[in-house]
Amino acid sequence: MYTLYYSPGAASMCVHLALLETNAPHELILVDLAAGQQRDPTYLKLNPNGVVPTLLVDGKPFYEAAAALMTIAERHPEAKLAPPADSLARAAWNQWILHFANTLQPAFRLWFYPQDIGADAASQAVVKAAAQRKIEAAWDRLEAHLSANGPYLLGDAPSAADLMLIMLMRWSRNMPKPVTQWPALAAYASRMKSRSSWKRLYEVEGLTEWS
């Protein structure tokens, strides 16, 4: 049994998608970020970083979206969200998920919250511009990869890595150059958004943008 502490459309999204893809029994607990619930002392006992997601696995809390995503995929091999552990595809799977967690996700953090390191409006604008360049460079690489190796990150079938990627792609929807301006990535987004897990997540989380 899993319990996912989530906020609609936040980094918990890929973990929620994995729970839906695996049909794993789970419950959801909403963390109202706007109200500051992530800083509540009770929540901080579960996740000292004060962010979502937090995933309870048999009652024990774990955090970091990529780690929770990988845990679910590995615990439910029948869903085929992770390639066999001894395969080259598994090495690529590890690489993509960690790349997203270490490169794209931090760049989006700076895009959304430039005040984390920019003391004034001018420096925040510099931070946002640098984050945008990094994000768009990632789209360039992914466009080339999917054009040559698609339709999904690992080839013919989607995996947990795709669940993380589509979440990050959604985050670009209000940027000056959203990800759908790259043709292969736009086609990829349409494929991923046609999945029943995506549609169900939108229903449950009450999302409407980028449906």
Per-residue pLDDT of the chain (211 residues; tens, 9 = 90+): 999 999 999 999 999 999 999 999 999 999 999 999 999 999 999 999 999 999 999 999 999 999 999 999 999 999 999 999 999 999 999 999 999 999 999 999 999 999 999 889 999 999 999 999 999 999 999 999 999 999 999 999 999 999 999 999 999 999 999 999 999 999 999 999 999 999 999 999 999 999 9
What pLDDT is stored for residue 6 in this prediction? 98
pLDDT at 178: 98
pLDDT recorded at residue 119: 84
Per-residue confidence (pLDDT) for residue 127, from 0 to 100:
95
- Model's pTM, two decimal places? 0.97
Q: State the pLDDT at residue 118.
A: 81
User: Is residue 63 a contact partner of residue 49, using CB atoms and an 8 Å limit?
Assistant: yes
Do residues 15 and 68 lie in contact, with contact meaning Cβ atoms separated by under 8 Å? yes
